[in-house]
Structure 1
Amino acid sequence: MTTDPVELTRRLVRCPSVTPEEGGALELLAAELSAAGFACTRVDRNGTANLFARWGARGHPKTFGFNGHTDVVPVGDAAAWTMDPFGAEEADGWLYGRGATDMKSGVAAFAAAAIDLVTETPPDGAVILTITGDEEGPAKDGTVAILDWMKDQGEAMALCLVGEPTCPKRLGDMMKIGRRGSVSAFFTATGIQGHVAYPHKAANPVAAMAKLIDRLSAAVLDEGNDHFDPSTLAVTTFDTGNPATNVIPASCRATVNIRFNDIHTSDSLAAWLGEQMAEVAAETGIGFDMTTAVSGESFLTPPGPLSDMIARAAEAETGIVPELSTSGGTSDARFVKDHCPVVEFGLVGHRMHQVDERVETAQIPKLKAIYARILREYFAQ
């Protein structure tokens, strides 16, 4: 009997696994996978729940890996939902619930495909699932923790498919072969507080910060390349915390975020930001400080065997050849890329994180069929 990915999705959605709560989702997956012969290990770290599951011999050179997450973002205004956020209710061909799109359906589809493969036609090789409960949160103790544990245990994937939603309009229309990096810079400008009627007795950090932000906003970081759009810089905060209209404040803060392609690294961008800041400090006499936070580096898995295999499977099941893209935000592929080649492919994602999040029910078994084709082709090679 084949494994029903829709029913497995329903059961997962009914688990209230809002980050950082496990909610029973990983326990459910571990039970299903263990029954099919997978060796399952909880790799929890600092209160974050993670699951590692392997079928086949450890260290087999032909090991297909899958990465996903069962944690979900908060419901938000529950009264705005027309369906129970954790009810997994169906209506008009849609399955509703938080995580239905991002990404319990993807996890269910791959788990179902993997279970059927190893129970019906056991391959010469191994299948690994790495499922985290920390993708929607800080992402410090999720996939990173699993990969750290794998290194210590001598576990390895030859390649990895991340099942995040990747398709903008129709199942099969896009896969992600890389991602932009993300670095945020936090600036503080410090001057001298004073009365606005006597500006010569003060040193206004607001004007200096405005000059810096204008300079950064006007900069062209690059023109993009064959696989990436141009890098972008966005101003996300500009604040003094000053409620008075007759006081020049002593300090001012601003934050920018850069989403960058593989022309840059976070270090090179931090150095550039520091240079711009130093120039404005010298021009204005205002003191500046900067700290940075990196969410991930830009990376690319060059088109090749893995992306070709995914494209063939998607076209066979949907009639669509996926576009190779590096658009969008960050994902846990930014961690997996240091372990093995990685590509992302999953369902249509435009309903994720929304009120009444939902997935077209018929697309879940179709995604399972794509994943099953990928697995069969990989182990037939």
Structure 2
Amino acid sequence: MSNDLVEAAAQQSESVIQLAQDLIRQPSRGGIDDYAPVLDVLETWLAGRSLPHRRLHDDGGELVGLLVEVAGTRPGTWWTLDACLDTAPFGDEASWDFPPTIGDIHEGWLRGRGAADSKLAASVFCHIAADLHGHRGDFAGGLAVLLDVDEHTGGFGGALAYLADERAACPAGVMIGYPGMDEVVVGGRGLWRATISVHAPSGHSGSSRPTVSAISRAAHLVQLLDAAELPDFGDGSGFPLPPKLTVTAITAGQGFSVTPGLCSLNVDIRLTPSFDAGDAETLVRKATAELDADLPGPLPTQVDTVAVWPPFRLQPDEQPAAALIDAATSFGLSVRPKTAGPSNIGNLLAKHDIAATAGFGVPYEGLHGLNERADLAALPKVYAVYQQALLDLLHGS
């Protein structure tokens, strides 16, 4: 069976690559480009194969994704494949060795922005959906393919619209098609993010009266945050990474002659099972209270929470991790489960009690950087692994 799937996947490769090339040639940078053209390409392809699909919109009516649904003929569990169709920006186009939307093949590599993250995966997943659509009588439950065009903005609008869609069946698990063949990401640290507003009297920088500017007060707060003690990963939870605190932005002032009355900090804290959002907020509020006591300002320092995602971690024998890892092993691939330091869409899904994997796909270079490209030599096996995993999951419904 394994060899048959790889052979069938190899026969599909030309079509998979062609669709991926067409997608790459439509720029879809997150928050920059119009997403309708790249979705038009995919919708034309889906309609030509009679695959049920519909666009997803957020609460404000903005286009945020595309959903493909293939239902089996019997009730059962649904599973989802997820890939983003929006991309990172191009950066300095003059530094690329080729145009970012070239979408060509050079020495066995598919080149262009989105080749790795994640237009090739989107093409693979749509082809797998077409394969299953022709065999709906063989399985229960169903397959959804989520194609998000609000991922690189950090908004994950497509995923949120999908989860809020009352017409969509809630999946038991999601497999996210980030690239890389060595690992299957089965977990990630969560995050707690906040903007902190630090106040001070404003005035002329040349004033004879002694003043402590908002920037100086904020600098003191940064020192307090940097000195805060966080637990290490030997906390007994088994989670392999420790929490982490980073001040990621400081905004204040203009010109030279005005002492700013407001300085804003962005704080990002990565969470673990033993250090949750409540612990993060307590730590930050303790530091701001100490600041206000040491260097009083005209107003209390304000903490506004921006985002909270829980950490998540699947065991290797939990689905859909087990199906994906077992399928990879059956094709002679050695993959290891990994808990990632950065957060990913799996954290968002964890808030809804939906299990997720991420990070299995073809080898790549230049993701989010210059000269992005994806290695096509591995494409048939990657295709076959996902197809085998889905067959195992759907037949086990």
| TM band (smaller chain) | 0.7 to 0.9
What is the alpha-carbon distance in structure 1 between the residues aligned to residue 347 and residue 21 of structure 2?
Answer: 29
Tell me the residue number matched to 1:275. Answer: 286
Preserved CA contact (<8 Å) 1:195 1:202: no
- Cα 1:39/1:250, change in 2 over 3 Å: closer
- The one-letter code sitting in structure 1 at the alignment partner of 2:38 is A
Shift of residue 119 of structure 1?
2.5
What is the alpha-carbon distance in structure 1 between the residues aligned to residue 367 and residue 193 of structure 2?
Answer: 24
Preserved CA contact (<8 Å) 1:193 1:203: no
Shift of residue 101 of structure 1?
0.2
Q: Which has the higher mean CA deviation after the structures are superposed, 107-116 or 351-360? A: 107-116
Counterpart of 1:112 (choices 127, 133, 152) is 127
- Cα 1:74/1:368, change in 2 over 3 Å: same
Preserved CA contact (<8 Å) 1:101 1:359: yes
What is the alpha-carbon distance in structure 2 between the residues aligned to residue 155 and residue 12 of structure 1?
Answer: 27
Tell me the residue number matched to 2:5. Answer: none
Q: How does 1:158-173 map to 2 (within 5 A)?
A: 158-165=172-179, 167=180, 171=181, 173=182
- Cα 1:30/1:233, change in 2 over 3 Å: same
Tell me the residue number matched to 1:316. Answer: 330
Deviations along 1:314-359, one digit per CA (max 9) or x if unpaired, are: 1233431x22222143332233331522211322455211121101
Preserved CA contact (<8 Å) 1:58 1:155: no
Unaligned 5+ runs, structure 1: none
Tell me the residue number matched to 1:216. Answer: 225
Tell me the residue number matched to 1:368. Answer: 383
TM-score, normalisation: structure 1:
0.87
Counterpart of 2:239 (choices 214, 218, 227) is 227
Shift of residue 182 of structure 1?
2.4
Shift of residue 120 of structure 1?
5.7
Deviations along 1:101-143, one digit per CA (max 9) or x if unpaired, are: 0001111222223322332685312211111111112425321
- The one-letter code sitting in structure 1 at the alignment partner of 2:187 is G
Counterpart check, 1:148 vs 2:157: no
Shift of residue 218 of structure 1?
1.8
- Cα 1:271/1:160, change in 2 over 3 Å: same
Q: How does 1:26-65 map to 2 (within 5 A)?
A: 26-45=39-58, 46-57=61-72, 60-65=75-80
- Other structure's SS at 2:138 match: coil
- Cα 1:196/1:41, change in 2 over 3 Å: closer
- Other structure's SS at 2:157 match: coil
- Cα 1:155/1:34, change in 2 over 3 Å: farther
Counterpart check, 1:191 vs 2:170: no
Counterpart check, 1:95 vs 2:126: no
Shift of residue 97 of structure 1?
0.7
Q: Which has the higher mean CA deviation after the structures are superposed, 33-42 or 353-362? A: 33-42
- Cα 1:368/1:68, change in 2 over 3 Å: same
Tell me the residue number matched to 2:86. Answer: 71
Unaligned 5+ runs, structure 2: 1-7
Deviations along 1:239-278, one digit per CA (max 9) or x if unpaired, are: 5425438x75444333322122232333431232112201
The count of residues paired between Structure 1 and Structure 2 equals 372
Deviations along 1:49-104, one digit per CA (max 9) or x if unpaired, are: 42111112599323221112111122222222222222211112211011000001
- Cα 1:248/1:49, change in 2 over 3 Å: closer
What is the alpha-carbon distance in structure 2 between the residues aligned to residue 66 and residue 279 of structure 1?
Answer: 47
